[in-house]
Amino acid sequence: MAEQKFVGTPRKATTHVNQNEGLIFEKSSPGKKAYRLDELDVPAVDAGALLGKSVRKDYGSLPELSEIEIVRHFTRLSTWNYAIDLGMFPLGSCTMKYNGRVNEAVSRFEGIADAHPYQPESLSQGTLGIMHDLSQYLIEITGMDAITLQPAAGAHGEFTGILMIRAYHESKGNARKKILIPDSAHGTNPATAAVVGYQVQNLKSNAEGMVDLAELEKLVDEDTAALMLTNPSTIGVFESDIHKIADILHAKGALLYMDGANMNALVGKTRPGDFNVDVMHLNLHKTFSTPHGGGGPGSGPVACKAILEPFLPSPVVVKKDNKFALDYNRPQSVGRVRAFYGNFGMFVRALAYTLANGYDGLRLTTEDAVLNANYIRAKLEGIFDLPFKTRSMHEVVFSDKLQSKNGVKTGDMGKRLIDYGFHAYTVSFPLIVPGAMMIEPTESESREELDLLIDALQQIAREAEENPNLVKTAPHTTRIRRLDETTAARKPVLRWKGPEQDGLTRDTPSKEW
């Protein structure tokens, strides 16, 4: 057999691009196309005559690839994504629960998906009925008197609720000056209050991580518009003195706003309206199993007591003579806060979830979420520091106090968790817990999945003792290793710049590209 000879210097083999996908621009070659069009069978239109100076003559450095290259590129990138269909998201505070496929199927029914939001009310009875029914269920679940579905997300719901509080106080002749916010609240709360024009006054938690009633009584006065209270709080603790908190506020004419982001711990067990909350928002994407985040699919309905009903955003869905209609005649309304009537697709999904579970099912969901969080707490307490001993609800917050003795921080352990196939927990939040490790499993996870997470965290704790550098340099198994997060935050590269834009041409030697 003849000896095989290599011509030239052999190239070193590398892993396939499916392990190290480049930018689509880097794959581009001039003249490649992913389509072929027939010749025009109608006269060509002079774009310049139609658009004048607005006609774009240079399309920029758009990538040129074949169809199979495009399909493979985006398919490979999709395999890099972590998703609820692959494993759990233990993110505390975010409530990343599974979205049932039946919700998606219902939202895609032709008559629902294709309905135009501005078609006549006579042709929209079904869609208006969906909004009306969901509103009534949410009112019952929260124990409130009225609701708007318009806000597009939780922070937008906060904004709407505080606008309503301001309008209420203005109707009394005094908008008041400040809003109290506990240090255990969600970070968007102080931003919301400031945007609406209020001064923010911090309220420190007591040793149990709850509102300090004595401190609250000192701070509440005739200038206080409201207290924004996250309940359960961001450390997963229920405010057991919530009635007393409401009484202190109401005695001074102030209102109680509840951030309902953590309602997944309360649905079917207790109702905020029954412990005298005046206004609250709900996150449909947290509690009612609709898609989460992405800057578009969220939904943050705001429910309120009767005293705030006149100030709800306009319009609201009403039922008259057995027909549904939109009521715009609301002279005290804070105005529209969302284009059209809110994120309707989320209303469909939330209603499907609510009807599929029923009252008993929703209550069981709450109980399972709390059980799962406390199972994790019981298995990891002592291995990680537990700063607050108060009973946990839907999430548990540990700290890195024990591991930091060896230089291992919460962020290091979160990145090491990626090596074990899990999305990281919420790192360094809430701020009242230094080195926080915030875990919320939700009701979606089985005991087997929880045990896998627990085993991984226990192993990481052992590594932090025996080989701290292994954890501090994680992750080790990912396509992309640890980034310089400080530089990424201060000097972000937000767009690709082609070689032509750098003064190079395609004839420039490749090493300069």
Q: Could you report the per-residue pLDDT of 25-48, keeping only the tens digit for each?
A: 888 898 898 888 888 899 888 888
**CB-CB contact of 144 with 302 (8 Å):** no
What's the CATH number for 360-485? Answer: 3.90.1150.10
The pLDDT-based confidence of 500 (bands split at 50, 70, 90) is: low
The pLDDT-based confidence of 481 (bands split at 50, 70, 90) is: confident
Q: What is the pLDDT of residues 156-200, one digit of tens each?
A: 999 999 999 999 999 999 999 999 999 888 889 999 999 999 999
Q: What is the pLDDT of residues 189-215, one digit of tens each?
A: 999 999 999 999 999 989 888 999 999
Query: How does 239-264 read in b/e, with b if 16+ C-beta sit within 10 Å?
Result: bebbebbbebbeeeebbbbbbbbbbb
Does the 101-356 domain belong in CATH 3.20.20.450?
no
Domain residue ranges of the chain, discontinuous segments joined by +: 101-356, 360-485
Give the amino acid at 500.
Answer: E
Degrees, nearest 5: CA angle 314-318-320? 140
Query: Above pLDDT 90, what percent of the chain?
Result: 73
pLDDT at 508: 45
Rg value, the chain, Cα: 28
- DSSP letter, residue 40: P
Q: What is the pLDDT of residues 268-309, one digit of tens each?
A: 999 999 999 999 999 999 999 998 865 557 899 999 999 999
pLDDT at 510: 41
Q: What is the pLDDT of residues 103-148, one digit of tens each?
A: 999 999 999 999 998 899 999 999 999 999 999 999 999 999 999 9
A 10 A CB-CB count for 422 gives: 20
